[in-house]
Every structure is written in C-alpha cells, then in structure tokens.
Amino acid sequence: MTDSSQAARVRFAPSPTGLTHLGSARTALYNYLLAKQTGGKFILRIEDTDSKRYVAEAEDDLKDSLKWLGLNWDEGVEVQGPHAPYRQSERKAIYREHAQELLENGHAFYCFCTPKELEAARQEQIKRKEQTRYPGTCRNLSLEDAQQRIKAGEEHVIRFKMPREGSITVTDELRGEITFENKNLDDYILVKSDGQALYHLAAMVDDHLMEITHVTRGEEWLATFPLHVHIYRAFGWQEPKWVHLSVFLKPQGKGKMSKRDTEQMKLSGQSIFVKDLEDMGYIPEGVINWIALMGWSYDDKTEFFRLENLIELFSIKKLNPSPAAIDFKKLDHFNGLHIRALEVKDLAQRLLPFFEAEGYEVDDDKLKDIVPLLQERLVTIDDAPSLAGFFFKDEVEPNPEELVAKGLNAEESANLAQKTLSILEQATDWEHDSLQEPLRALADEMEVKAGQLFGILRVAITGQRVSPPLFESMEIIGRETSLKRIKKAIALLEAQAA
C-alpha cells in the first residue's frame, strides 16, 4: 500500500451532460485505484442538479464506459449502498436541511437581489476598477426579515456568507498549501431561486455524509476550492484530502481541448471519447494503461501496467500537477502491447464481433489458429477483418496488377506462379516450413528474389499486399483452397500477358 493504510472512501461524481471523455475516465481511474489499493470503496454519484444540462444517454454512456474500462463501483447508482440515494436530484431535502443549518449558524444568508440590481452593481464596480463581486446588499438581513419577505413570495437565493477579512489556507495533495485572502472570495450562491442546491453545497454535503476520505477531481475546481473548505469548516466537519488533477492539452501540447478540437479530431479518425475508442478497436487494457500515465508515473522506465499492477503501485504522491498532452501514438503503442499480452482465446473472443460486423461467417477453430498470426501485428482490434478476412472467404479477388511481381512483367510472373503451383501440388506435407523451402530454391533457380515470388503468392492467396505471415496463412487455409487461388491468379496473369 502506497498512500495510506486507511481504507479510502472515494467518489467519482460526474455530471452527465455529454459523452464520457478521457479526463473523466482518468479521474474515475485514479479514484478507483485508491479505493482498491486501500481496501476501500469506490462510489459513483451522479451530479444531476442542473436538470437543464442533464442528458439521460450521457448517464448510460458513463456507466457503460466505466464498466468497459473495468472500473466497477462498490456503491452508487444501480448498485446502491448505505448512503443511497446516490443521485443528487433525489437528495434535495438533504441539501435544504443543510442550507437551513448554515442560515441559522450565520454562515449563509438569503439574498433577494434581482439580476438587474446585481448587474447595475457590477457595472459600478467595473467603473470603479474594483473586482466584481456580490455587493453585499442582503448580507446582514435578519433571518426573521428574510423569512417575512419569502412568505410574501419574493424570489430569493441562498448565499454563503464569506468572511470579509482574514485568509484561508487550503491543502491540495499535489500542490501543497495554498492561501487565499477572503476579501477576494465571493458570497457564492449555494441554493438557486428554484430551490436547487448548486455543486458547492450539494457536493460538500454529499462528500461529508458519504464519508469521503479523498476528493480527487479536476483542476477546474481549484478556484472555488477555498469556498469548499470554508463550507466544511462552517459545518464543523473534518475535511477530506483534496487532489486536483491537471487538465489535458491538445495533442500539439498547446492549450486545452475545445469542442471544435474534439470534432476535428474525429474527422482525422481520433477521439477523446471512451465509446469511440471502443468502436475504433482499442481495448480497455490499452486505454487504461494510456490514461494512467497521463498524469502519473511509477518510475522513468516502467510503462506496461495492467489494472492490477496499477492498484498495487499507484500513489497520489506521484501524480503530476502539470498538464499532460494527449498523445494518440502512445495509445496505439499501449494498445498493441496489451493485445500481444492477451491469451489467444481471449483475443479470439474480442475479434469475433469485428469479423461478424463485416459479414464474415467465422469458424471458431480457424479463428483460434489465425489469432497468433494477427496478435503480433494488430494495433487496434478492428484492423483484424481487413487484415485477415481472406481466411473466411470462399474466393479472393486479387487486383490483377498487384499480382505482377516488382521488376517482372505479367508473363514472367505467370510463369513463376505456374512453377510455384507445380511445386506446391507435389507437396506431401502441407505445413508452413516445408512449403517455404522448395519455393526459396525455386527463386534461386529462376534468379529472382524470394520476395518477388512470395509477393505474387501473397496476393494470390490473400488478395492483398499486406497480410499475416504467408506460409502460416497457407497452412491454415489448406491445400485445396490455396491451390485453387493460385490457379485463379495464373489465369489473371495470363490474361494480362496475352
């Protein structure tokens, strides 16, 4: 155990507003690792207080993405647990009670200022070159007066009564202590006029009630971090440990990702959304390894990590507060490593749907024979059908021009193919090594390079220029089909030569 011997209770608390992207996945991962490492609990809480921005499909996508990545939660929506409900829209009464407590102990106040009044005050502050903030109009209204006005039907919000003097020192596990002057902090809204609690109140109340020990969240919450600690202290609660994760930068390493960048990325066949990565043939192990290292490292050299290794080795202390650039080349690299590390049976199972989606009827035994040939070559598993679809076809349709070997003409190629056919027809043992040897001898005899001969044969057998190892492929395809394909190639070459 690297961080603490205390069983951590951590939460991933997304607002389902759009598809799950790498940033969320990484936050979820680090939380998950801390929980599993300490024998604690990983909690999924849905922060849906902003009903206008809530998207039901986004919540489904979120749960599917976590499950696909293998980050199953111990408590939370769907699975429930001792602190249910885990959906903020079902916890309104709890927030109301807590807002009431802050109103009564003088840490919050009712505010009746209209948007128009607030805007006028803001303009004044700008004119006076002051920092814009709540002007303080309702800060000192008595609770009784406020309640009268509420009874009379006046619209209101509830604000945190930020001390006007002094400072607050907060501690982020990555950045150390940070001191904020209270006078620079605002009287933030805790409850909106529709009675809905905002993140600042809802999340703090939930984190406390759900006994969260570590809050690991995005860096965008650093600005309101002092408010959150003020809220904890106003209730007299013990704070969790706070960890603010760095943002992701564009692949070029300049600036944060924008919506437009995301769209452009998709056009070039890349994506930051977990679902897209799945559809593109990345495997969860590869994605996990990739995102784990976007902000954390174990040492300078180790780069291959499975989820179970990460559980053992993860440490908050080794998180990097500087922003990480998204590097898709690394994703390809890690995906390849993890594909190679899979059991043949496992990879076969994962490849099957990709072949089926392309309309291939897949024979399971044959697939298991093919997998070892593909395993070394695949970057993403969706490459498999284009690389190996020929195994499941009755016939291939080679491009006649591709059958002509480099440096030879169609007639010479046809002649070479004919001689190849004669040799293979006599092969007693249809096994890759014994198929290859006499053909090498043939190339020597004909004074061509083995590569020229094998090139013709490859296109004849597979219908493509790039394929898994040729002779192993021929062994799997079998004598009859292989010979049939070579005969067809000879006919195509002869037709060109004529």
Active site residues: 259
| Shortest Cβ 218–ligand GLU spacing (Å) | 6
Nearer to ligand GLU by C-beta: 32 or 454?
32
Q: How far is CA 284 from the centre of its chain?
A: 9
| Shortest Cβ 306–ligand GLU spacing (Å) | 26
DSSP 143-202: HHHHHHHHHTT---EEEE---SSSEEEEEETTTEEEEEEGGGS---EEE-TTSPBPHHHH
Task: Return the percent helix, strand and coil in the chain, to nearest 5.
Answer: 50, 10, 35
| Shortest Cβ 17–ligand GLU spacing (Å) | 8
Give the residue among 358, 211, 193 at the shortest CA–CA distance from 281: 358
Dmax (CA) of the chain: 106
Q: How far is CA 366 from the centre of its chain?
A: 33
Nearer to ligand GLU by C-beta: 243 or 457?
243
| Shortest Cβ 257–ligand GLU spacing (Å) | 15
Nearer to ligand GLU by C-beta: 237 or 328?
237
Pairing of strands 324-325, 214-218: unpaired
d(CA 401, CA 406): 10
Task: Determine the residue type at 445.
Answer: E
At 32 the three-state DSSP class reads: helix
At 360 the three-state DSSP class reads: coil
| Shortest Cβ 88–ligand GLU spacing (Å) | 9
Nearer to ligand GLU by C-beta: 66 or 384?
66
- Phi/psi of residue 382, nearest 5 degrees: -75, -5
| Shortest Cβ 6–ligand GLU spacing (Å) | 20
Give the number of C-alpha atoms closer than 13 A to the C-alpha of residue 467, restricted to the C-beta side: 24
d(CA 383, CA 364): 18
For 411, the token pair is 């007639």
| Shortest Cβ 27–ligand GLU spacing (Å) | 7
**Cα Rg of the chain (Å, integer):** 32
- Phi/psi of residue 238, nearest 5 degrees: -80, 130
**Residue nearest ligand GLU, Cβ-based:** 217
| Angle at 358 (CA atoms; ends 355, 363), nearest 5 degrees | 35
Give the number of other Cβ atoms within 10 Å of residue 418's Cβ.
Answer: 15
| Residue showing tokens 């080794």 | 318
Nearer to ligand GLU by C-beta: 248 or 471?
248
| Shortest Cβ 225–ligand GLU spacing (Å) | 11
d(CA 276, CA 258): 17
The conformation of residue 455, written as its DSSP 8-state character, comes to H
Nearer to ligand GLU by C-beta: 225 or 390?
225
Give the number of other Cβ atoms within 10 Å of residue 105's Cβ.
Answer: 12
Nearer to ligand GLU by C-beta: 78 or 181?
78
d(CA 86, CA 77): 5
- Which residues would be at the binding site for ligand GLU (CB under 6 A)? 13-15, 47, 203, 217-218
Nearer to ligand GLU by C-beta: 23 or 389?
23
